[in-house]
């Protein structure tokens, strides 16, 4: 993997929360723009789902609601309308389908740190909102679940989905596409909700409007490795 | 203490400037008011022109009360006193609670004067407390750097006002020499060539006040 | 003590002269107000203080153990003393702090513990403030003025001098300083407690900063002067909350924090007072468990009692809460400063029904407490007569090389005769707190 940041010589690495790796740095000189390029090859499908230990402590933090998954009247009413039965896995499948059908995919409607409840009251949103609502419902069911940020084969932006504890694994569910996560998904980091999983964050001093563009290209490597 | 950041050096400089602005304009106001009583009722217009503020007053009486007291008028003496306060309150750890108290007291004097009908006499108390503030700066601030930057601000402001008010060249030369001492000791960034130009200009027979004033205003560089 | 009452005008004048104020926002506008001061001090006897001191030290020591444990091995959760979800769903629990040990293992350096005295003379703990408790500067400077205006009052009473707070605070900073200067980080002059920030900076010799002159480089924190020279910072007594501390780790939009300071802290290169993440111990839900913590970590019984508290989270407590709703006070665990407090008896029928629905939906969000029959303190009213008012006491407990209780405290009172809320943000005033040496 290759990471470069234009204009920044001193890039440092650290381990963030929930085991995510972060690089960070600072550009002291006045500048008008900078670019971060990350490129690399990823081999997926080796072990799609991570096993989890039965030690309860490790998963409690994902079983309780977090800031952006806090249910309100609309999620609560929706929860009441679902008849959830069976194993954690079965309930997760039902929730995934229900969330997928209840939402209307509408880019550009969601503010950066909007809660699942707010988006769901409009029934409009993007992958982030689908994931938050699914997390909210899973946690109401007492199923530990976490938010995942990553990439999808062929997509032009990063993607988000949900992992829930079922059958001894952190199973990946994609409520946006109503799919199970397979080897076309590349996982980057996970957390309680999107606030824990920003791909990039930063701040600057100066009086300027800020524009951020993101471009993601994921292609299948044609050569056999 | 000895560690002064860019932001704090600015606060100190402006603390010096605003307290001096209050002090000198107040003295000049009291003088001008006397003149307006009988000798020259319309003098307020000239007053405004000299110190470079818009004449929003329209009458002698309005000027008498609005110019010192009106906090909605950004050019009033009281507004300048509040600016001094704004710069002081963030510097408590450098100038000390004791020193700061005199700015607070000047504000209280100003409020008292505004309420009463002997305000010209009452305003003298504001000058007393500004002078007490300067006394504290000299006496209680042990850190040289802090002291020198405040005094540099005071010196620059006084020079600026004296030039505006057409004070005699001897006064200007004296204040300029005093200011220069603090400039050197303050370690602020300044333009040496500007200083050199002013040096030469001031010792000519005809000093061009306007040019000197604009040079003074560009003396300190970021 | 009559001297104090006689000369209360003088004391008020001095408070005004020295700018003893706090900021308040009214209709979106910032205003500075004098903090109303009442000249009749709260007097705590020598023995009574010894008892409080012992209890407060015990409590703060246990809370420090708890924080060390929660962000470390989490033994208390493994042993089932506190239900895990109480910790993990607490707003103040910060995952980035997991596994990070602060210098010398101290989390709460300055703890503000709020107590009240009931009519039967027992003291109860109301809440623990382990994040950024404020208020010590007010009794400290008020004492200065009382001694000036009524020296005789101190001649005839052996009152322990409380003006040593700054030295205590300085030694607490020095104790964890990792090599460098001490700074006090303030959100700026438009913060309610700016007077305190600047006054404590002056008195401790720490540098007051609003963060714009602090930079992180190579995981070290520096203070930059106007000539561009950098001075290393060893300890930051920060008066800004966790969320705003570092935009790279916490709230991204924060403009008052220091980018990357959390990395410097994580690597042990700078001390933050108090440590980030302490909010979990302030949580009103966790408060319920403090006596259990004391037993768990110290093997002792709690000396100071909590106000009788119920957790609707437990079925039995929910039942009690519903059955006795009208005589209880219900508090939202995530709120502070007197907000989110509801007296059951004050609600209308509809409000009550709505509230109970909310309570049933989010039982973890609330605690219910018995209303304590406060022992009222006299204050001087405008006509100069004595009238009783509700009051609490914020004790300041400082943890350096050892834990110490400041022999004074901030006594806040409600000016409104019918109110229990004493917070300055809601119009309360303050008194000095005298601790007698004999």
Interface membership of A224 toward C (CB under 8 Å): no
Terminal alpha carbon distance of chain C: 17
List Cα–Cα distances, B94 to A173, B39, B144, B181, C205, in angstroms: 59, 46, 11, 21, 9
Instruction: Tell me if chain C has a CB within 8 Å of the CB of A49.
Output: no
- Asked whether residue A152 falls in the same domain as residue A183, the answer is yes
On whether the CB atoms of residues A158 and A199 are closer than 8 A, the answer is yes
Tokens of C61: 């020591």
List, by residue range, all CATH 3.30.1490.270 domains of chain C: 308-370
Contact call for B9 and C181, based on CB within 8 A: no
* Burial track A147-176 (b if 16+ CB lie within 10 A, e otherwise): bbbbbbeeeeebbbbbbbbbeebbbbbbbb
Q: Do chains B and A touch (3 or more CB pairs under 8 A)?
A: no
Residues in chain C with CB shorter than 8 Å from the CB of A60 are: 84-85, 88
Residue A210, domain member (yes or no): no
Q: Residue A221 falls within a domain, yes or no?
A: no
Q: Do A67 and A155 fall into the same domain?
A: yes
Inter-chain residue contact A192 with C95, CB threshold 8 Å: yes
Q: Which H/E stretch holds residue C366? A: strand C366-370
Q: Lowest-confidence range among A3-12, C216-225, C236-245?
A: A3-12
B4 has a chain C CB within 8 A of its CB: yes
Q: Which residues of chain A have pLDDT under 50?
A: none
Interval C293-319: pLDDT, tens = 999 999 999 999 999 999 999 999 999
**DSSP letter at A178?**
T
Q: How far is A88 from chain C (nearest CA, A)?
A: 19
Q: State the Cα angle at A14 between A8 and A19, rounded to 5°.
A: 135
d(CA C327, CA B105): 50
What pLDDT shows up at residue C42? 96
CB of B108 less than 8 A from some CB of C = yes
Statement to judge: residues A87 and A55 lie in one domain: yes
In-domain check, residue A23: yes
In a shared domain, residues A36 and A61: no
Are residue A98 and residue A120 in the same domain, yes or no?
yes
Rounded Cα–Cα distance for residues C127 and C286 (Å): 10
Q: What is the ipTM of this complex?
A: 0.85
Cβ-nearest to A24 among C98, C248, C252: C248
| CATH number given to C308-370 | 3.30.1490.270
Q: DSSP assignment, residue A17? A: G
Average pLDDT, chain C: 92
Band of residue C138 on the pLDDT scale cut at 50, 70, 90: very high
- pLDDT in the model for residue B206: 83
- How confident is the model at residue C409, as a pLDDT? 97
Q: Is A8 on the interface with C (CB under 8 A)?
A: no
Would you say residue A76 lies in a domain? yes
Domain count, chain A: 2
**How confident is the model at residue B111, as a pLDDT?**
95
Contact C231 B188 (CB under 8 A): no
| Band of residue C255 on the pLDDT scale cut at 50, 70, 90 | confident
- Whether residue B37 lies within 8 A of chain C, CB to CB, comes out as no
Output the pLDDT for position B222: 66
Identify whether A204 is part of a domain.
no
Stretches where chain B sits below pLDDT 50 are 1
Mutation site, A8, A10, A19, A26, interface C, largest C CB count within 10 A = A26
CB contact under 8 A, A203 and C263: no
Chains B and C touch (3+ CB pairs under 8 A): yes
pLDDT surpassing 70 at residue C226: yes
Please, are residues C209 and C183 in contact by the beta-carbon 8 Å criterion? yes
Least confident residue range of B194-208, C201-215, C413-427: C413-427
Full domain range(s) for residue A21: 1-40
Query: What's the CATH number where A191 sits?
Result: 3.10.620.30
pLDDT at C377: 94
- Considering the domain architecture, whether residues A15 and A104 belong to the same structural domain is answered as no
Residue ranges of domains in chain B: 6-217
- Concatenated DSSP letters for B131-179? HHHHHHHHHH---HHHHHHHHHHHHHHHHHHHHHTT--HHHHHHHHHHH
Nearest Cα of chain C lies from the Cα of B67 at a distance, in angstroms, of 24
Do A72 and A24 sit in the same domain of this protein?
no
Question: Does one domain contain both A178 and A90?
Answer: yes
Based on the domain organization, do A59 and A7 belong to the same domain?
A: no
Cβ-defined contact of C194 to B89 (cutoff 8 Å):
yes
Q: Does B142 touch chain C (CB under 8 A)?
A: no
Q: What is the pLDDT of residue C273?
A: 97
What digits encode the pLDDT tens for the residues A77-125?
999 999 899 999 999 999 999 999 999 998 876 667 789 999 999 999 9
State the DSSP string of C129-141: E-S----THHHHH
To the nearest whole Å, the CA of A103 is away from the closest chain C CA by: 24
- For the segment C330-338, the average pLDDT, to the nearest whole number, is 78
The pairs formed by A91-97 with CB atoms below 8 angstroms and a separation of 24 or more are A91/A138, A91/A141, A91/A143, A92/A138, A92/A143, A92/A145, A92/A164, A92/A166, A92/A171, A92/A173, A93/A173, A95/A134, A95/A137, A95/A138, A95/A141, A95/A175, A96/A134, A96/A162, A96/A173, A96/A174, A96/A175, A96/A178, A97/A178
Please tell me if residue C202 touches chain B, with a CB cutoff of 8 Å.
yes
């Amino acid at each position: 993997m290759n990471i470069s940041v234009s204009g920044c010589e001193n890039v440092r690495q650290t381990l963030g929360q929930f085991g995510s790796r972060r690089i960070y740095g600072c550009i002291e000189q006045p500048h008008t723009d900078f670019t971060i390029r990350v490129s690399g090859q990823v081999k997926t499908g080796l072990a799609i789902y991570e096993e989890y230990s039965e030690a309860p402590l490790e998963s409690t933090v994902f079983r309780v609601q977090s800031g952006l998954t806090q249910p309100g009247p609309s999620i609560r009413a929706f929860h009441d309308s679902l008849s959830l039965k069976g194993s954690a896995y079965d309930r997760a499948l039902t929730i995934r389908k229900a969330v997928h059908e209840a939402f209307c995919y509408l880019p550009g409607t969601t503010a950066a740190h909007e809660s699942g409840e707010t988006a769901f009251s409009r029934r409009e949103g993007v992958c982030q909102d689908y994931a938050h609502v699914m997390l909210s419902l899973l946690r109401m069911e007492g199923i530990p679940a976490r938010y995942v940020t990553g990439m999808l084969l062929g997509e032009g932006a990063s993607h988000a989905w949900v992992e829930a504890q079922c059958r001894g694994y952190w199973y990946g569910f994609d409520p946006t596409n109503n799919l199970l996560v397979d080897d076309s998904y590349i996982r980057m980091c996970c957390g309680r909700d999107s606030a824990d999983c920003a791909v990039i964050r930063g701040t600057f001093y100066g009086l300027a409007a800020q524009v951020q563009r993101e471009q993601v290209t994921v292609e299948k490597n044609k050569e056999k490795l | 203490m000895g560690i002064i950041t860019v932001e704090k050096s600015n606060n100190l400089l402006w603390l010096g400037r605003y307290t001096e602005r209050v002090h000198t304009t107040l003295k000049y106001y009291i003088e001008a008011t006397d003149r307006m009583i009988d000798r020259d009722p319309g003098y307020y217009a000239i007053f405004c022109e000299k110190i470079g503020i818009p004449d929003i007053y329209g009458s002698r009486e309005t000027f008498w009360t609005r110019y010192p007291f009106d906090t909605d008028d950004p050019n009033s003496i009281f507004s300048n006193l509040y600016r001094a306060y704004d710069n002081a309150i963030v510097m408590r750890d450098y100038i000390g609670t004791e020193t700061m108290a005199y700015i607070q007291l000047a504000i209280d004097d100003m409020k008292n004067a505004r309420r009463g009908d002997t305000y010209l006499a009452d305003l003298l108390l504001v000058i007393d407390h500004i002078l007490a503030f300067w006394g504290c700066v000299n006496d209680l601030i042990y850190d040289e750097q802090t002291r020198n930057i405040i005094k540099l601000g005071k010196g620059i402001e006084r020079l600026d006002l004296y030039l505006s008010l057409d004070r005699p060249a001897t006064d200007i030369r004296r204040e300029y020499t005093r200011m220069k001492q603090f400039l050197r000791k303050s370690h602020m960034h300044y333009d040496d060539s500007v200083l050199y130009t002013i040096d030469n200009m001031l010792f000519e027979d005809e000093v061009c006040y306007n040019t000197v004033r604009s040079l003074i205003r560009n003396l300190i560089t970021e | 003590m009559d001297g104090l009452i006689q000369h209360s005008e003088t004391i008020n004048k001095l408070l005004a002269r020295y700018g003893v104020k706090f900021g308040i926002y009214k209709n979106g506008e910032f205003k500075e107000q004098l903090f109303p001061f009442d000249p009749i001090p709260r007097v705590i006897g020598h023995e009574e203080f010894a008892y409080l001191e012992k209890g407060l030290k015990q409590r703060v020591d246990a809370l420090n153990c708890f924080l060390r444990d929660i962000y470390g091995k989490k033994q208390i959760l493994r042993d089932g003393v506190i239900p895990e979800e109480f910790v993990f769903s607490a707003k103040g629990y910060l995952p980035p702090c997991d596994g990070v040990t602060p210098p010398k293992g101290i989390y709460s350096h300055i703890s503000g513990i709020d107590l009240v005295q009931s009519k039967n003379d027992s003291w109860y703990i109301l809440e623990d403030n382990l994040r950024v408790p404020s208020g010590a500067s007010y009794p400290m400077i008020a004492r200065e003025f009382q001694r000036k205006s009524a020296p005789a009052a101190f001649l005839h009473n052996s009152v322990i001098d409380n003006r040593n707070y700054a030295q205590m605070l300085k030694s607490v900073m020095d104790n964890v300083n990792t090599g460098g200067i001490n700074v006090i980080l303030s959100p700026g002059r438009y913060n309610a407690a700016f007077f305190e920030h600047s006054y404590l900076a002056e008195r401790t010799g720490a540098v007051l900063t609003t963060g714009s002159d602090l930079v992180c480089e190579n995981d070290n924190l520096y203070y930059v002067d106007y000539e561009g020279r950098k001075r290393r910072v060893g300890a930051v007594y920060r008066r800004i909350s966790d969320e705003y501390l570092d935009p790279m780790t916490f709230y991204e939009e924060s403009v008052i924090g220091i980018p990357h300071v959390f990395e410097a802290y994580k690597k042990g290169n700078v001390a933050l007072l108090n440590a980030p993440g302490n909010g979990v111990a302030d949580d009103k839900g966790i408060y319920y468990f403090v006596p259990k913590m004391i037993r768990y970590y110290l093997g002792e019984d709690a000396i100071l009692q909590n106000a009788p508290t119920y957790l609707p989270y437990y079925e039995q407590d929910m039942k009690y809460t519903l059955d006795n709703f009208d005589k209880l006070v219900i508090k939202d665990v995530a709120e502070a400063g007197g907000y989110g407090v509801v007296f059951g008896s004050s609600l209308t029928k509809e409000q009550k029904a709505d509230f109970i629905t909310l309570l049933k939906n989010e039982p973890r969000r609330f605690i219910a407490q018995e209303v304590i029959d406060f022992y009222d303190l006299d204050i001087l009213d405008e006509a100069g007569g004595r009238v009783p008012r509700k009051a609490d006491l914020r004790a300041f407990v400082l943890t350096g090389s050892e834990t110490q209780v400041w022999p004074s405290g901030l006594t806040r009172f409600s000016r409104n005769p019918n109110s229990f809320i004493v917070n300055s943000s809601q119009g309360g005033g303050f008194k000095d707190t005298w601790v007698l040496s004999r």
